[in-house]
Chain A
């Protein structure tokens, strides 16, 4: 059995490579410049049934592993950061459904529907009024006669206008405390989005993430059957950090690729003379290897305890996953910056094949999506009691 799984995963990675190279890459500059959704890449990912790749085979999905998803995100991220990020965010939502909703009759059928239609799912976890804390909600589900209503002021919903469904957090009832949250599935025909801001940002422009007022009425069985506290610590948080870091590795890999090509071109111009910046290339390649190692280590760590909810709720695991995010979000800026030093003016120019502007702008987003200072604060608090290094 491992052999068939591996061969299928390998072909999924090959497909990702092909879609990245042939479709995402040629459109990446336009997606960035126009801050538009990478629709060509997502049409191709749908056609190749990559959106349902993590759904178990019994529901008609690809049944791939977290390690496979990580590799695919890195591959897509090399060619177009927005494509990699949207793919990662979609798979995070799928992972939440696969791991926490299967016992519900509705969600079992919905997973099969997702595998069939290759629907794209967005996320509405942040909210105005909670100060960036995704483990708190202001809005609440208001149940009434078999259905529920929700109205959420979301500061961002990435690709909200391009999604077929949204997973949104809310308090479990109007009198529940902010931390007592549920996760709800809202389908396209059940929600309306009223735009409250634009999306003209430094990087990740193609994720199309403006603010919205999200309003929906949906059947009660669209509320996931377990608390968001569980979903967050066991799946949403670790899988987010792993897949985001994986696509940041893709960005860093693309930058190092350009630096390597630049050094090679320089070396060809002056055979027999090692280019001055080649030592910097050696340095940045070692940094990239370190970043990859952190991601791979975290994937192994998570896959090792994926089936153990108690271990996933442990403080030392949360600290390790937070460290993955902190390490990789700073490493990606550092690595793209080093590539810039290697490529020099050719990297700084916007019209050269070595230009690194887009990658650098995207890289700076990594520390901000769930702000690193908030994560350092959380780790600092946990380290008051945790002793495990």
Chain B
């Protein structure tokens, strides 16, 4: 999953550094992620993982690190089973 997130970052986030070299906990905003690029990143992630970010996730923190993105997507993809229980 993290590789797929990195691919999407490469495509849409327009960071000033090699995405492979960014640790999961590093602040993506410090590498030049802008609010405009965040929108494209979200659209890219929604397409790559076939999810839709709910309004409550459309906050700065959700896209701050690779780890935060992973957690959000995990929550959204496991949501189908969780909501059934």
Contacts and interface: CB of A to CB of B under 8 A. Distances in A.
A229 to B, nearest CB: 6
A384 B32 contact: no
B26 interface: no
B73 interface: no
Given A382-B39, A385-B39, A179 B32 contact: yes
A310 interface: yes
A313 B59 CA distance: 5
Say what secondary structure dominates the interface of chain A.
Answer: loop
A314 B58 contact: yes
Contact of A313 (B30, B33, B60): B60
A313 B29 contact: no
Given A313-B59, A313-B61, A314-B58, A385 B32 contact: no
B39 A180 contact: no
A282 interface: no
B31 interface: yes
A381 B38 CA distance: 10
Given A382-B39, A384-B39, A385-B43, A178 B32 contact: yes
B9 interface: no
Contacts of A273: none
B59 A177 contact: no
B30 A180 contact: yes
Nearest to B55: A388
B50 interface: no
Contacts of B36: 378, 381
A180 B50 CA distance: 31
B57 to A, nearest CB: 9
Contacts, number: 55
Interface in A223-239: 227, 229, 233
B66 interface: no
Contact of B29 (A136, A179, A318, A381): A179
Interface string B20-39: 00000000011111111001
Contact of A233 (B16, B31, B43, B60): B60
A152 B36 CA distance: 24
B61 A315 contact: no
Contacts of A179: 29, 32-34
B26 to A, nearest CB: 13
B53 interface: yes
Contacts of A178: 32
Contacts of B69: none
B61 A385 contact: no
Contacts of B59: 310-311, 313-315
Nearest to A384: B39
B83 to A, nearest CB: 18
B5 interface: no
A310 B61 contact: yes
A177 B32 contact: yes
B53 A385 contact: yes
Contact of A386 (B29, B33, B55, B60): B55
A135 B56 CA distance: 23
B32 A315 contact: no
A316 interface: yes
B33 to A, nearest CB: 7
A387 B55 contact: yes
Contacts of A229: 29, 60
B32 A180 contact: yes
Interface string A48-72: 0000000000000000000000000
Contacts of A311: 59
B31 A385 contact: no
A318 B38 CA distance: 14
Contacts of B33: 179
Closest 5 CB pairs of A and B: A177-B32, A313-B60, A315-B58, A388-B55, A177-B16
Given A135-B35, A385-B53, 6 more contacts: A178-B32, A310-B61, A313-B59, A314-B59, A315-B59, A388-B55
23 contacts: A177-B32, A178-B32, A179-B29, A179-B32, A180-B30, A180-B32, A229-B29, A229-B60, A310-B60, A311-B59, A314-B55, A315-B55, A315-B59, A378-B35, A381-B36, A381-B39, A382-B35, A384-B39, A384-B43, A385-B39, A385-B46, A386-B58, A387-B55
